[in-house]
């Protein structure tokens, strides 16, 4: 029994390849290339689907209450209220994004505008 284990150990040591003999090989390179091709195909498919969605929205196939905000078109309803609330918060924070008149505090002199 001991002789058999010794022979197995010797065969196992002999079967180990050297470090310079171990390479990834063409199979791994092919798999990597196929994964890259799959990502490219999925990207093209995604852009195609998104363009179809935009065309369908312009054609009126979706609920008109869920329209995306368009530049230059005034907001109504909850979207307008949200914009007013965000504008008021920005003015209150003092970042100057509002561009409106300065706010008067409790201790401010209403005559001087400070």
Summarize pLDDT for 57-79 with one digit per residue, the tens: 888 887 767 666 667 767 777 87
pTM for the whole thing? 0.42
With 50 as the cut, is the pLDDT of residue 94 above it?
Answer: yes
Phi/psi zone of residue 16: left (φ > 0), alpha (ψ -120 to 50 degrees), beta? beta
The pLDDT, as a whole number, for residue 86 is 87
The closest alpha carbon to 68, from 58, 41, 36, 59, belongs to 58
Q: Do residues 53 and 67 touch, judged by C-beta distance below 8 A? A: no
Two structure tokens written together for 62: 């979706």
Two structure tokens written together for 7: 């022979």
Percent of the chain that is helix, strand, coil (3-state, to 5): 60, 0, 40
- Model pLDDT for residues 14-54, shown as the tens digit of each residue: 777 788 888 888 999 999 999 999 999 999 999 999 999 88
- Model pLDDT for residues 96-112, shown as the tens digit of each residue: 554 555 555 555 555 55
The more confident residue out of 88 and 62 is 88
The pLDDT, as a whole number, for residue 98 is 47
Question: Please, which residues have CB within 8 angstroms of residue 104's CB and are 6 or more apart in sequence?
Answer: 110, 113
Radius of gyration of the chain (CA): 34
Rounded CA separation 70/86 (Å)? 18
The more confident residue out of 11 and 87 is 87
Rounded CA separation 114/112 (Å)? 6
């Amino acid at each position: 029994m001991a002789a058999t284990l010794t022979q197995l150990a010797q065969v196992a040591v002999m079967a180990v390849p050297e470090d310079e003999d171990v390479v990834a090989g063409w199979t791994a390179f092919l798999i990597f290339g196929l994964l890259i091709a799959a990502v490219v195909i999925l990207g093209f498919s995604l852009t195609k689907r998104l363009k179809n969605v935009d065309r369908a929205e312009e054609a009126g196939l979706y609920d008109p209450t869920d329209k995306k905000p368009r530049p230059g078109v005034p907001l109504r309803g909850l979207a307008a209220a949200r914009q007013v609330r965000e504008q008021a918060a920005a003015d209150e924070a003092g970042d100057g994004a509002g561009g409106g008149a300065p706010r008067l505090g409790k201790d401010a002199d209403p005559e001087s505008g400070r």
